[in-house]
């Protein structure tokens, strides 16, 4: 992990980290994914089964997990785990219920009315990654806002292991969340099935949930025919700290991000030179006997960074430029630093709020913008599963009062028939 004490070098390094998924392999991946999607579009379940055998090593037949198996998974997990899932479910649901957008109507003085009406999409697909870890928390974070929005049908896809099995706690979380259908498929072929529909899987209106580069590329390519939440890249954390923060806490929080993925990024901006060295020493100690040592080492070595900043203002500037997915503020006055933060997916204040709190049960969604996208977007939420419609009703008087302005604007754009469509109503 590099230690940098020069702002110019820090900006350059942060840019390199932010662009870490932009590689020469992207064109090759696009070609592979396009081929998979086209085959799924043409051949449906046959193609999905073919690519599941090829990439995941099992025959997904039957593809759907029945409701009894979901219920059994819930019954088989420990009481303690059930309780924890229920606590998380309640907190996440309570938060997202506050997000429900309100329809509204405005009545004009001449009797015209304009409205915005919010409605849920009919059905949604949620992608739950497998691979290096199991993510029951991601089930809750995707299913709950969809349920709160009023989505009728939630279809979950998740890759099985070599035996074709999905993690039991993931299935238990699906049962708790009231998901209608669960299919043991993953990868680009699963995204294609949700986007185009097959004999077994209904075409959905929105697809949400993170995945690997093939899943993300598939979401990018089908966007337009189906809605998506975002194009999630590898996870990242940026911590702003001063001499009051404990180095062991900082090192633990950096490793909590690094253990996700070799491409995960863990960054520290500190005003203390001594702390920078202490954190680096702590990281080496903690990695030594870490159960995911290899993943952590690759992440920290390639995408980890410590920057020694002159002052808080420099920390804030660098953080806003990077626009992190997760931002922890571990300073004497974290609220003061917060005032200067413009770009971050989620912000965690003070030593009692490690990022893991947000990952599991704080309430706000943990599906967040990565790779600098928090400059213009936010977390997954209830609105992801809703659409709004404008409703406009003018009467004769309100159209007549506004007709000249509409005609003037239409003529300024050279659109003759737009103007005529108003004029003609008053010619008789």
**Residues identified as active-site:** 325-326
Q: CA-to-CA distance for 345 and 19, rounded, in angstroms?
A: 17
Whether the Cβ atoms of residue 279 and residue 308 lie closer than 8 Å to each other:
no
Could you tell me the two tokens for 365?
A: 């969604």
DSSP 8-state code for residue 369: -
Q: CA-to-CA distance for 383 and 29, rounded, in angstroms?
A: 31
Question: Which residues make Cβ contacts (< 8 Å) with residue 405, sequence separation at least 6?
Answer: none
Helix or strand holding residue 12 (H, E): helix 7-18
- Beta strand pairing call for 104-107 and 64-65: unpaired
Q: Which residues pair with 120 in a beta bridge?
A: 386
How close are the terminal C-alpha atoms of the chain, in Å?
A: 79
Q: CA-to-CA distance for 120 and 8, rounded, in angstroms?
A: 47
What are the CA-CA distances from residue 294 to residues 123, 158, 261, 301, 323 (Å)? 40, 25, 10, 11, 27
Whether the Cβ atoms of residue 347 and residue 341 lie closer than 8 Å to each other:
yes
- Beta strand pairing call for 305-308 and 181-183: unpaired
104 backbone dihedrals φ, ψ, rounded to 5°: -150, 160
Helix or strand holding residue 328 (H, E): strand 326-330
Count the Cβ atoms, other than its own, within 10 Å of residue 414.
8
Alpha-carbon torsion, ordered 303, 29, 379, 195, to 10 deg: -160
Whether the Cβ atoms of residue 157 and residue 185 lie closer than 8 Å to each other:
yes
3-state secondary structure at position 420: helix
């Amino acid at each position: 992990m590099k230690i940098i004490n020069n702002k110019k070098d820090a900006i350059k390094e942060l840019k390199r980290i932010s662009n870490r998924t932009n590689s020469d392999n992207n064109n090759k991946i696009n070609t592979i994914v396009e081929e998979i999607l086209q085959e799924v579009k043409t051949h449906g379940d046959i193609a999905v089964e073919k690519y599941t055998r090829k990439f995941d090593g099992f025959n997904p037949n039957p593809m759907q997990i029945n409701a009894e198996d979901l219920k059994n998974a819930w019954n088989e997990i420990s009481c303690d785990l059930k309780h924890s899932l229920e606590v998380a479910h309640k907190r996440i649901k309570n938060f997202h219920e506050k997000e429900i957008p309100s329809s509204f109507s405005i009545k004009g003085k001449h009797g015209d009315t304009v409205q915005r009406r919010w409605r849920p999409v009919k059905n949604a697909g949620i992608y739950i990654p497998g691979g290096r870890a199991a993510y029951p928390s991601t089930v809750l974070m995707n299913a709950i806002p969809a349920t709160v929005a009023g989505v009728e049908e939630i279809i979950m896809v998740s890759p099985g292991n070599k035996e074709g099995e999905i993690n039991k706690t993931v299935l238990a979380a699906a049962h708790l969340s009231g998901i209608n259908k669960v299919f043991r498929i993953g990868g680009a072929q699963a995204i294609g099935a949700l986007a185009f529909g097959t004999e077994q899987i209904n075409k959905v209106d929105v697809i949400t949930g993170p995945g690997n580069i093939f899943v993300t590329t598939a979401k990018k390519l089908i966007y337009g025919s189906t809605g998506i939440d975002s194009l999630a890249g590898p996870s990242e954390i940026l911590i702003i700290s001063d001499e009051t923060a404990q180095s062991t806490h900082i090192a633990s929080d950096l490793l909590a991000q690094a253990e996700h993925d070799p491409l995960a990024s863990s960054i520290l901006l500190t005003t203390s030179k001594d702390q920078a060295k202490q954190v680096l020493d702590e990281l080496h100690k903690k990695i030594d006997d870490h159960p995911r040592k290899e993943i952590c080492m690759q992440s920290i070595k390639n995408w980890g960074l410590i920057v020694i900043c002159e002052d808080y203002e420099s920390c804030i500037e660098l953080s806003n430029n990077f626009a992190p997915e997760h931002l922890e503020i571990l300073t004497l006055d974290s609220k003061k630093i917060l005032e200067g933060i413009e770009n971050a997916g989620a912000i965690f204040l003070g030593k009692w709020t490690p990022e893991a709190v947000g990952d599991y049960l704080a309430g706000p969604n943990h599906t967040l913008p990565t790779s600098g996208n928090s400059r213009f977007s936010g977390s997954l939420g209830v609105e992801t599963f809703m659409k709004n419609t404008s409703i406009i009703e003018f009467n004769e008087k309100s159209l007549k009062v506004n007709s000249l302005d509409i005609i003037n604007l239409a003529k300024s754009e050279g659109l003759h028939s737009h103007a005529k469509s108003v004029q003609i109503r008053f010619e008789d």
